[in-house]
Structure 1
């Protein structure tokens, strides 16, 4: 392993790699041996941070449904135990549950790891790390990988014990009690969802527990729920709420079974989306609008933090209809959450940080991006609406949605893609200044966002540089039919003057 590239395992604030063969040109780089050293590295890193001996640490490890999960997880736990740590094997779990194992009485783990690669293909896997302060950041992951590469660990005289414990049931019961208490349905307190048919699509990931351990104890009819059984080959659809096939599947299931509500999770349940009784998806701007309406009822006038590509209609809805404040920030769920935390520290009240991908984090829940908690908040309002003969989506009746919305990914064909991408964005600002009906949107934290005010375009676009890839994502929205194409045609004039861009998708 002398020439092994440990840095290649870092994916921002996570570790991700290829765990099994099966995809051409993707050699395995997350092996059992690597996993063992990562377990040792995390244990060593955490002991230093907490100023504790490794033998005094109590750690938890869980996994999603990936086929590589059991072997890799066992090696991670063996690595931890080799340094004397006490380890809980919680088996199938969700990413949010693994964080909750660090703050739940009776567990109170010093740290936890979730084995997952989110919605990536079957051959991938990875590790997400938690302490009671939240998920680890990018610098922490770099330090852990450095320790793994050095491979200089102090083995314990006696290995720590690995103990199997059921934590997903404990976590699920927390959600059950949250919903019961919030709905407070009098004589039917225990079953506030009775009379509601709610369908869950877990995509064969780790989210199947939500149907049996949350919805059914609350009295919901979950008939028609699909793909609840864990299967790491993901045979039915990609477990990703942003995937069109996945969303079409849950929408159709709601209509077929005449359900009141549908829920879809990603593989490790840190993201979610929903479907109303008409089969209309509650995703992206709609999901943000719905949870914002709930939050601003509870915390009037507070700030909703989102990523940069949310629509103008959402801003209008939050600020004019809900009387809140909309704060757009950089893409990346960690960026959005960190910004909300920062605003609170500076005295600006913010109770929700949410990205269009479905990562939603709430101040009342440790600012943890928890898909199950997010939909539980929606179910509370669904139950209340049923009691008064109303619909949950009445909350977003005033939301104005664009006629057209599209994202185009423009590839950069030079090695120094970040420098070149930043140059393209700088030149675009100059180009925009020369257009009489285009204007730069103020208070923009990422790339360049432009308002297009002509009646034929009536929309906006945002060009930004991808966080990790040699790509310039271009988002365009228009409130009139054909408007997005007109914006795109004008942008072609600019992009055609730039070298080293692949404009095939534009």
Structure 2
């Protein structure tokens, strides 16, 4: 049923590739949340769904946005199951645990405190890309279904914590672990979970506080890990674990305070998974180190390079029936004994179990020491208008193809050379281009950066100087 009086247009910046995001009071507000509820609820109902779980993070704007969202969902005739405050993976768990038709999480993830947004899934699959574009069309037309829905509270916190704990497989070996929730939505679950695991656990910033008073909750930013690193060293801990604002990503530091990125963590987790599933595909995003893909192959797995983006990884994982996947950003996805979505808390349990199962005296720092450590740049992100970024990548790719370069074009272009590799891709969520380079030597790395800059100039773009 079309309801012209309810037609709604979103700010052009909020409907993203993987989710919906905006600045509260500027590009995103309660009217938008209500319209998202009506549009998403209509899509769910038209697909035959009858129920939707709703969760929220601890941001100051989340209660009001959640209330408006619930109002919009109920207006389409659905049963709305409110699970309360918690990490995004708890919402994913609730959809599976309660056999709901869909789920939607109010969360700003790792973004600044004045940002917020929504992550969705429909029938246990990620809702992204064209699905989100459809919401915009439904809202603009006022093409909302109407009905008398039902709203009820369905707390799943105890069941979620128990489900996380249930896959602990490290025996009774006592590790000393420092945990840092960064005042994000994972705080309460982190505390409950740590209290049920063996070992000695030191908890940092567990109080959920949408102002993030301790530090910004983004474990891909080394500055946000300084407190964790210091505490690990002071407490002589085995390792430290940090979570992002909504708990679907984790960061790790070893007992010497060194940061392990996603492509360090994934091969450690893959070893027991591949022992149970020999020859299985293991997916990592296109930004990951070549050493990761080489290690997966040595462990008897089939390395698969995938597109960056949690929704894209989840979809590819389901397609290939991969038991494990991961991204440089710290999204880790387990389908081995779990549901196939990204859950930083679950990944932490599995990581701790692996480490606790190593021979007595072997540490994460020992493993880090023997890992390959090629030289690489961080993500090189530089502004590029949305209407130009994909064309620039295509222009670079066309020239490389003409020259017979060795490329992987699953997500932008990743170019393999005798010195290493470099990557150029367009961000799906921002008006930026993203580059990365990796080589065995500093001279090689410098040459690859120069090559990336030259290719961009040839396509009419400029890469700024990075330190």
Answer yes or no: same fold by TM over 0.5: yes
What is the number of residues matched between the two proteins?
461
Query: Is 1:200 the counterpart of 2:198 in the alignment?
Result: no
Query: Is 1:332 the counterpart of 2:337 in the alignment?
Result: no
Unaligned runs of 5+ in 1: 21-27, 186-191, 345-349, 434-438
- CA–CA distance in structure 1, aligned partners of residues 463 and 440 of structure 2: 28
- CA–CA distance in structure 1, aligned partners of residues 435 and 111 of structure 2: 23
* Residue matched to 1:16: 21
- CA–CA distance in structure 2, aligned partners of residues 216 and 343 of structure 1: 36
* Residue matched to 2:287: 309
Contact 1:99–1:131 at 8 Å: present in 2 too?
Answer: no
Contact 1:111–1:132 at 8 Å: present in 2 too?
Answer: yes
1:15–1:409 distance in 2 versus 1, CA, 3 Å: closer
Q: CA deviation at 1:7?
A: 5.1
1:153–1:459 distance in 2 versus 1, CA, 3 Å: closer
* Residue matched to 2:163: 174
Give the RMSD, CA atoms, in angstroms.
Answer: 2.6
* Residue matched to 2:3: none
* Residue matched to 2:300: 323
TM-score of the aligned structures, taking structure 2 as reference length: 0.90
* Residue matched to 1:440: 406
* Residue matched to 1:164: 153
1:3–1:44 distance in 2 versus 1, CA, 3 Å: closer
- CA–CA distance in structure 2, aligned partners of residues 490 and 78 of structure 1: 53
Contact 2:52–2:100 at 8 Å: present in 1 too?
Answer: yes
* Residue matched to 1:117: 108
* Residue matched to 1:100: 93
Q: CA deviation at 1:377?
A: 0.8
1:7–1:404 distance in 2 versus 1, CA, 3 Å: closer
Which stretch shows the higher mean deviation, 242-251 or 330-339?
330-339
Could you list the per-position Cα deviations for residues 147-172 of structure 1 after superposition, in whole angstroms to 9, with x for gaps in the alignment?
A: 2333354544x552x33342222211
* Residue matched to 1:47: 45
Unaligned runs of 5+ in 2: 1-5
- State which structure, 1 or 2, has the greater radius of gyration over its C-alpha atoms: 1
* Residue matched to 1:484: 445
Query: Is 1:390 the counterpart of 2:362 in the alignment?
Result: yes
Query: Is 1:137 the counterpart of 2:103 in the alignment?
Result: no
TM-score of the aligned structures, taking structure 1 as reference length: 0.83
1:59-458 alignment, distance < 5 Å: 59-104=52-97, 107-156=98-147, 160=150, 162-179=151-168, 182-183=169-170, 185=171, 192=172, 195-223=174-202, 225-320=203-298, 322-344=299-321, 350-364=322-336, 365-385=338-358, 388-392=360-364, 398-412=370-384, 415-430=387-402, 439-441=405-407, 443-453=408-418, 458=419
* Residue matched to 1:465: 426
Find 1:31's aligned residue among 29, 32, 36.
29
Q: CA deviation at 1:503?
A: 3.9
